[in-house]
Amino acid sequence: MPRLIEYDAAPPEVRAVFDAIKAARGVPDVNNFWKALAVDPPSLKRTWDSLQQVMTPGALDARMKEMLYLAASMAAGCAYCTASHTAAARRAGMDEAMFGELLAVVGMAAETNRLAEALRVPIDPDFD
Amino acid sequence: MPRLIEYDAAPPEVRAVFDAIKAARGVPDVNNFWKALAVDPPSLKRTWDSLQQVMTPGALDARMKEMLYLAASMAAGCAYCTASHTAAARRAGMDEAMFGELLAVVGMAAETNRLAEALRVPIDPDFD
Amino acid sequence: MPRLIEYDAAPPEVRAVFDAIKAARGVPDVNNFWKALAVDPPSLKRTWDSLQQVMTPGALDARMKEMLYLAASMAAGCAYCTASHTAAARRAGMDEAMFGELLAVVGMAAETNRLAEALRVPIDPDFD
Amino acid sequence: MPRLIEYDAAPPEVRAVFDAIKAARGVPDVNNFWKALAVDPPSLKRTWDSLQQVMTPGALDARMKEMLYLAASMAAGCAYCTASHTAAARRAGMDEAMFGELLAVVGMAAETNRLAEALRVPIDPDFD
Amino acid sequence: MPRLIEYDAAPPEVRAVFDAIKAARGVPDVNNFWKALAVDPPSLKRTWDSLQQVMTPGALDARMKEMLYLAASMAAGCAYCTASHTAAARRAGMDEAMFGELLAVVGMAAETNRLAEALRVPIDPDFD
Amino acid sequence: MPRLIEYDAAPPEVRAVFDAIKAARGVPDVNNFWKALAVDPPSLKRTWDSLQQVMTPGALDARMKEMLYLAASMAAGCAYCTASHTAAARRAGMDEAMFGELLAVVGMAAETNRLAEALRVPIDPDFD
């Protein structure tokens, strides 16, 4: 079992980030990811700051960003990230039919990714 | 240089798939991916059939599906697929600002994916 | 362009391995992989020794071993290894129909691998 | 714990695929992979249909195809797929000595894959 | 050929980051990575800021950090990153013998990583 | 639960390697990795022999080698290897501050690896 830093045992700079996450998300406690990352306080702060910047709605809305995050996490085979961002994408409005289609796209991409690389397909001139 | 099957040199079952792709996309020739995959005609047909089913707009529209495909291909590090689906996503309406935010999400996901796995973070009970 | 050590410029311990490879394979020169790996002579020797042990026919014949090597290299997305072991598997007897079916299996495995991980499927009790 | 769709709770189109799998394999129930994939019935059907086509013996026999599937799954690091296809390859005739040699090939491929990519080895002209 | 943003064609917020990189490194121009990332100015700025924080010598010195970066890039199979961080690690003091041993460790890790996953080895209780 | 070979049930050639590991490390029993790998005695012996050669201090000391091994294992997403080599690196002198910085480098490398590949950045001429 890896080490998780709970709020009560956390140093002040960790508590400050935990407080910011709880306030931004309106939750009583932070996820295990943040408790685990707290072993390195500078990484904790930097990661939370980056995530805030990246996930703020802009040209893409929150649901779209969460679904892209989920697709990238599935493609990378990260079980925790897939579970975490499936939950987040659902909260942002992804329904079961959307999840099913996302799953199909990620599976299909995995197959054609391997085929394209196995065949060393040269990039078509008009892609750029 | 890997082997690419051109239309004129292709057997009938390959020409039939090439014709279907050209008709569906309104293009004069198919991409290198299909010419390379034509070394195995059953894989060519099955992959095109699957792709048609998976990419048809449903709960998600064409642009969203192409962007998810692109995110999965970037996360898997497939250069050809990334080039091909960047072009496809642009044709489906992805503009430069959307591309920039997609890129930021994929990059951020890569970092947190590695951190979550490196720390072996246990899945939170409320994710399921 | 990465650095390649040619025979004439190689130190004695590298020449000894190059000679062993050329003798074992009946070729006038070694592949680029060995010329590149020669930047670290102990790795060159250890890798060649290991490869000899692993690829010697035993319960599996040479063709089968080369095709497994190729499948693993395709799945890992290594372009050089895929090119190199496609050539080696062909020399060991893999024909075009076998290559086509190998490609289809690797592609299908990539898709179901991602789906199984994305859905975090629990291992069935009777697999062990 | 991810969601698994059991036969009794499954809609008709899912039951039809489950029935086909049980009949084709002569088993009383389907594996967890199929129960998990049933969250998206079109993906369930398409994946089963593709797998049937790809795994039918042709230029390669059933044991060889299962062992290639296993090698690709090991190389991709999918724990469920490795467990599932180890069991399937054993049913198709892979004995312990074959498994040991397959493992050695996959391990060796992993090492040389990384070395070839780390050294960015240029592809030898005679590979194509 | 992907799109690279040159200094003269860059908007002010991109020039500001390019100026910071050139000043910090004492170089007349930035690497292609930064010119490519400049398609999304917020990602450019955030990535440079993060990199500065992460790579500043602390408990580990600059050479050690560059070598860890290189090992992670080799393990992930990123050709550009491997080339870029090989150059950076050399500037930070990595000599040929160190490079050879780093390469051997990364190769060996790749093999045992695959073997540990292929065998689904349970984590020993005393690791935590 | 995968199969682990315990000392008492092991054939002589496996016991010989287990004895060598126990003697070299001064431990009463070997880790699960070796017990699992013992299903293929030649792989067990070859892997232990290779590991001894690769991990012997040379141009790099033991701590540095263990930390590079850990960085490569984290980047490859191998949970067992990460747990095992975190423990080994700690025994070799990695303290919490070093672990935190290693983690930050690996995470940052993961992000820039994906970005460099997603943007297909061409390698700068002066890297070689």
Token pair listed for D34: 């199929």
In chain B, domain spans: 1-56, 59-128
Which pLDDT score, from 0 to 100, does residue B2 have?
79
User: How buried is A21 (Cβ within 10 angstroms: 0-12 exposed, 13-18 middle, 19+ buried)?
Assistant: middle
Mention every residue, 6+ apart, whose C-beta is less than 8 A from residue C84: C31, C33, C73, D116, D123, D124, D127
pLDDT at E1 over 70: no
D: neighbours with 3+ CB pairs under 8 Å? Answer: A, B, C, E, F
Chain B CA closest to residue E44 = B104
Q: Which residues of F touch E71 (CB under 8 A)?
A: 68, 71-72, 75
User: Between 3.40.1440.10, 3.10.450.350, 1.20.1290.10, 1.10.10.60, what CATH number should domain E58-128 receive?
Assistant: 1.20.1290.10
User: Between 3.40.50.1470, 3.40.50.620, 3.40.50.150, 1.20.1290.10, what CATH number should domain A1-56 receive?
Assistant: 1.20.1290.10
| The two domains F1-56 and F58-128 share their CATH topology (first three levels equal) | yes
- Using only C-alpha atoms, chain A has a radius of gyration, in whole angstroms, of 18
Mean pLDDT, 10 residues at a time, chain C of 128 residues: 91 98 96 97 97 97 98 96 97 97 98 96 91
Which pLDDT score, from 0 to 100, does residue F80 have?
96
C72 → closest Cβ in D47, D72, D78: D72
Q: What's the pLDDT tens digit per position in D51-84?
A: 999 999 999 999 999 999 999 999 999 999 999 9
pLDDT at E89 over 90: yes
ipTM: 0.96
Whole-number mean pLDDT of chain F? 96
Percent of chain A beyond pLDDT 90? 95
Chain E CA closest to residue C1 = E83
User: Which of helix, strand or coil describes residue C32?
Assistant: helix
Which pLDDT score, from 0 to 100, does residue E123 have?
95
Which candidate, C74, D75, D108, B104, places its Cα nearest to that of A77? D75
Whole-number mean pLDDT of chain A? 96
Q: What Cα–Cα distance (Å) separates residue D43 from each residue in A96, D9, F18? A: 13, 18, 47
User: Between 1.20.1290.10, 3.30.450.90, 1.10.357.10, 2.40.50.140, what CATH number should domain C59-128 receive?
Assistant: 1.20.1290.10
Task: Please indicate whether, in this complex, the C-beta atoms of D43 and A99 are within 8 angstroms of each other.
Answer: no
Q: What is the mean pLDDT of residues A75-87?
A: 96
Whole-number mean pLDDT of chain B? 96
Mention every residue, 6+ apart, whose C-beta is less than 8 A from residue F93: F62, F63
